[in-house]
Amino acid sequence: MKARVHVTLKSGVLDPQGKAIKHALAALGFDGVEGVRQGKYIELDLADADPQAAEAQVTAMCEKLLANTVIENYAIELDG
């Protein structure tokens, strides 16, 4: 089973890398960009075929390592 995890900063948390990307896009002539928030994308290949067990396992991974839950949110997608 494949799991995809999208990790993003919580709203209200400053995103200096997003701001740098926005400025770089403007310098390249992309003037219509009003804001940028950057994040992480993590893809996992799991041995577990049970969707509920896989989601519980990936949630535990996010809570313990993949996301800093104080300042980041995460979303999990599973493909069986």
Question: Is the separation of the CB atoms in 36 and 21 below 8 Å?
Answer: yes
Q: What is the CATH number of domain 2-79?
A: 3.30.1280.10
74: number of Cβ within 10 Å: 20
The contacts of residue 59 (CB under 8 Å, 6+ apart) are 76
Please state the rounded mean pLDDT for residues 22-49. 96
Domain coordinates in residue numbering, the chain: 2-79
pLDDT of residue 71: 98
Average pLDDT over residues 29-51: 96
- For residue 61, the one-letter residue type is M
Model pTM? Answer: 0.88
pLDDT at 80: 74
